[in-house]
Amino acid sequence: MSTPKRTPDRALLRDAVAIAAAMIAVGASFGAIAIAYGLPTWVPFLMSTAVFAGGAQFLAVGLIAAGNPLAAVFAGLLLNARHLPFGLAVSETVGPRLRDRLIGSHLMTDEVVAFTLAEKDPARRRRTYWLIGITLFTSWNLGTALGVWLGGATGDPAALGLDAAFPAGLIALILPSLRDRDTRLVALTGAAIAVALTPVLPAGLPVLCALLGLLTVVRPRRGNPATSDQTAEHHTKTEEAPC
């Protein structure tokens, strides 16, 4: 007897396989580039397992190869600072136990959060978070191993357009949410802020500044019209009352 409520649907599995394939390709590029920079073989493996942050890993490898490891650490922390609001958004989904929070926070990426928040049902959110998180972690490390083995044959992911795979997937995920007027306003404002600040701020900061788009839905509280009318009527009667 099938239990559809306990197993992810086919659409989710299909999406997981598709994004895992892109993750393997970009992970292979990371492994190959790390070897091409002359880093020891164990470095990309250690970074992919202990750090697991694609963009930050590419940036860190370049800075380490340039002889500036401290800048690599600082840049990685800065680039991944966006995970702070991400963690608040999915904290209940990950689970209350310490083990779940430690492992779940390590698996948290942009794609995992996007897939998770696209689900409305809490049970499906939890399944989605762990399925996508484990899938991406596994595929990223497989890609890294493949890139190290190829030793630079894959080259830059931008040359094949692979750098656009994840943004395209995220855009497809948020399109249904843009039907809501407030959500659309926040998204467009945040995107405009990020694009405007990209030429003048270091990598990672424009994404954080995009959170300022949330201010568009913050409206000052106004007094209850009914209460205001009653107050005005009370003052009028008080003034007209005989001494």
In this predicted structure, the answer to whether residue 223 has a pLDDT above a threshold of 70 is no
Per cent of the chain over pLDDT 90 is 6
Q: What is the pLDDT of residue 142?
A: 94
In this predicted structure, the answer to whether residue 5 has a pLDDT above a threshold of 70 is no
Instruction: Summarize the confidence of residues 114-131 as an average pLDDT.
Output: 86
State CA 61 to chain mean position distance.
21
Kindly state the helix (H) or strand (E) to which residue 168 belongs, with its residue range: helix 165-174
Which pTM does this prediction carry?
Answer: 0.62
230 pLDDT tier (thresholds 50, 70, 90): low
Instruction: Summarize the confidence of residues 223-238 as an average pLDDT.
Output: 50
Q: What is the pLDDT of residue 221?
A: 54
Structure tokens at 227: 């209460």
Domain boundaries in the chain?
10-177, 180-220
Q: How far apart are CA 59 and CA 124, in angstroms?
A: 34
In this predicted structure, the answer to whether residue 11 has a pLDDT above a threshold of 50 is yes
Please tell me what DSSP assigns to residue 161: T
Kindly state the helix (H) or strand (E) to which residue 114 belongs, with its residue range: helix 110-117
Per cent of the chain over pLDDT 70 is 71
Give the number of other Cβ atoms within 10 Å of residue 61's Cβ.
Answer: 22
89 vs 131, higher pLDDT: 131
Kindly state the helix (H) or strand (E) to which residue 104 belongs, with its residue range: helix 98-107
